[in-house]
Structure 1
Amino acid sequence: MMRRRVVAVIASLALLGLAAGCAGDSSTLDRPKPQAAPGHRMMPAQPTPPAQPGEAQKTDESCNPRASVRPTTPLPPPGKMPAGTYMAKIQKDGRLILGTSQDTLLFSSRNPLTGRVEGFDVDMGRQIAQAIFGDPDKIQIKVIAYDDRVDAPRNGDVHIVADTMTANCARWKDVNFSSIYYEAGQKVLVSTNSPAKSIEDLGGKRICSAAGSTSYDNIAKVKTKPIPVAMPAFGDCLVAFQLGQVDAISTDDTILAGMAAQDPFAKVIGPRFTEEPYAMAMSADHPEFTAFVNAVLQKNRENGTWAATYKKWLGAFGPAPKPPAAQYK
């Protein structure tokens, strides 16, 4: 098993190295240094027992996180954004800046052959560019860390974020979210020889997730007390898992399915133990942009674009379900 595991690690490292050496869009390849969440410590290069996690934070339930700004109707024609709107500014800038990751297979990962970041989330951003410019290629992809997904649109570093990002009340206090475009749920990835059937069977075990993600926070809420381990991104979790530095990875089931496809000695276990409604994040200073994005999403639910996007990237999981129904304030 160890020999096969080393082979898998080498393959993953080769893929990551190839991706890092490719060019083909304006994505930033430099990774920020990982930041430990309060009460936790980052995994070092060599496996050592991490500190015990602090108490899990209580979930903010002060809002309906699925309810967004009611969409603008009718949509303005591409290339003719209303004066004074954030869409007009984006149009003047000449491209939509999308914040996303580069290592979330099927949603936003760098193609090692072309160097381009692509996936379901990226296509969500391209559809907004299409609506603004009439050209989905008028987009600049900026790779951001998971814990920058709120700050990047709030500070104006990007126009919009589509990055397997769960809409929740705590984040709504800092950014606006679109209506929900995908329903996911958290599960766990373990070795194929693990007897664990769910995350509750991993008490005291080291479980990796991305720093700044809701998945990381949820690990500390499990009653059997698994040990959360933070990494800058889920690709780093996969390498740490293959090197034996962590016992498992926990995040949304769709992300884990992509990881399992890369590692024949890994499997996804258990039922979903959370609901993770994905939405796009934008600055709260421009509610007209949120309304515009919601109008685009609604149009694409109705005309089959959402279903075609699902089939393109996630069709291996089965026929496209109905897209999530929009909810508005």
Structure 2
Amino acid sequence: MKLVKQKRLAVLISAVAMAAAGCGSAGKPVDPAPVTDVQPPQPAHVGGVDAGGPGSANKDCNTGSLAPNNGTGIPSGSTMAKIKERGKLIAGVDQTTFLFGFRNPTNGSLEGFDIDIAKQVAIAIFGTAENRIQFRAITSSQREAVLERNEVDIVVRTYTINCDRLKRVNFSTAYYVAGQRVLVPNSVADKVDGLEDLGGQKVCAAKGSTPLKTIAAAPSKPVPVSVDNWSDCLVMLQQGQVAAVSTDDVILVGMAEQDPTTRIVGDKFTREPYGIGIPKANEDMVRFVNAVLDNVRAGPWRQSYDKWLSKLLGDGSPPPAEYK
């Protein structure tokens, strides 16, 4: 009897062991989607040169602005009077360009040199910019469109005055003059001195910008890559998706400050006078804004420049007003 029980126990143990072996191993797992090469994601809306974009800051037209005639007074029925009655100045600005128009990550507010300029227009109308200015973040390619549709009163967004744009919108006098340069990784900075050394290589710029057209027209034939915002160019450079970024020096200075593994190379090879964009029909607003800028050149310009740019660009001064 004892021997029978021992045999039954042995059979039971063997059966349990076989079941456990069957449940414990399902064979080698199969990867349904093997990955051999992971590419970093690109920013949204990456493209090439936009054929309908503006040309360079050429001189085949009179780029002078309208001279002030009432100072910063606000006549009844004027564009400025309507803005004052509304209670807010609506300004199209950038929120992605460090030092000129960017969102402070600590408090969420918009800051930078362009933001300070926009606030000066609000102060001239309302006596203060506090709760009197509504910022609308736009891309470079949206600047003319929002002005033509009267969705904003002004655009202050590193906005180069040129002949192509003057066909569609009005500009104030220039409040800053920048120049296009090139930003590359430190690892190749000694080998690159400008677009002439980037033939056949991808160079990034924002859609609707003058630098994008300059890249496309370069004799060395770099490959223009366009994105919505300048911050997208920096990301693509960091990920090795483009060889360089080329735009105005003041924008590149902000990128280099954010990423010390990059360097600005070469000299300026364009002249980019920044003006405040204003709807074509609102000539009274153009004259008013020019009066504001005359006052800004006398004091607030220097304060803003010292706050945002002097440590990186050295001493600077506002450009003189040029009128028609």
Normalization by structure 2: what TM-score?
0.82
> Stretches of 4+ moved more than 4 A in 1?
31-40, 56-60
| Residue aligned with 1:129, SS | helix
Structure 2: runs of 5+ lacking an equivalent: 1-39
Partner in structure 1 of residue 233 of structure 2: 237
Aligned partners of 1:62 and 1:308: how far apart in 2?
A: 34
Alignment of 1:85-96 (within 5 A): 85-96=78-89
Structure 1: runs of 5+ lacking an equivalent: 1-8, 14-30, 41-55
Given that 2:183 and 2:265 are in contact with CA atoms closer than 8 Å, whether structure 1 keeps it comes out as yes
Aligned partners of 2:107 and 2:141: how far apart in 1?
A: 27
2:276 maps to 1:280: yes
Q: 1:167 aligns with which of 161, 167, 186?
A: 161
Given that 2:204 and 2:212 are in contact with CA atoms closer than 8 Å, whether structure 1 keeps it comes out as yes
Partner in structure 1 of residue 34 of structure 2: none
Alignment of 1:56-71 (within 5 A): 61-65=59-63, 67-71=64-68
2:77 maps to 1:84: yes
Residues 92-118 of structure 1: per-residue CA shift (max 9 Å, x gap): 111111101111100000100011111
2:112 maps to 1:119: yes
Aligned partners of 1:243 and 1:274: how far apart in 2?
A: 27
Given that 1:307 and 1:320 are in contact with CA atoms closer than 8 Å, whether structure 2 keeps it comes out as no
CA RMSD of superposed structures (Å): 2.2
Report sequence identity in percent: 43
Question: How far does residue 315 in structure 1 lie from its aligned partner after superposition?
Answer: 2.0
Normalization by structure 1: what TM-score?
0.81
| Residue aligned with 1:220, SS | helix
2:133 maps to 1:136: no
* Alignment-mate amino acid for residue 64 of structure 1: N
| Residue aligned with 1:68, SS | coil
Partner in structure 2 of residue 53 of structure 1: none
Alignment of 1:215-226 (within 5 A): 215-226=211-222
Residues 247-276 of structure 1: per-residue CA shift (max 9 Å, x gap): 100000010010011112100000001000
Aligned partners of 1:321 and 1:211: how far apart in 2?
A: 28
Given that 1:86 and 1:289 are in contact with CA atoms closer than 8 Å, whether structure 2 keeps it comes out as yes
In structure 2, relative to structure 1, the CA distance for the partners of 1:263 and 1:58 (3 Å cut) is closer
Larger Rg: 2
Partner in structure 1 of residue 147 of structure 2: 153
Q: How many residues align?
A: 280
In structure 2, relative to structure 1, the CA distance for the partners of 1:319 and 1:266 (3 Å cut) is closer
In structure 2, relative to structure 1, the CA distance for the partners of 1:162 and 1:226 (3 Å cut) is same
In structure 2, relative to structure 1, the CA distance for the partners of 1:172 and 1:32 (3 Å cut) is farther
Alignment of 1:249-264 (within 5 A): 249-264=245-260
Question: How far does residue 73 in structure 1 lie from its aligned partner after superposition?
Answer: 3.4
Partner in structure 2 of residue 192 of structure 1: 186
Question: How far does residue 308 in structure 1 lie from its aligned partner after superposition?
Answer: 1.1
Partner in structure 2 of residue 49 of structure 1: none
Partner in structure 1 of residue 305 of structure 2: 310
Given that 2:71 and 2:288 are in contact with CA atoms closer than 8 Å, whether structure 1 keeps it comes out as no
Partner in structure 1 of residue 267 of structure 2: 271
* Alignment-mate amino acid for residue 121 of structure 2: I
Aligned partners of 1:33 and 1:228: how far apart in 2?
A: 14
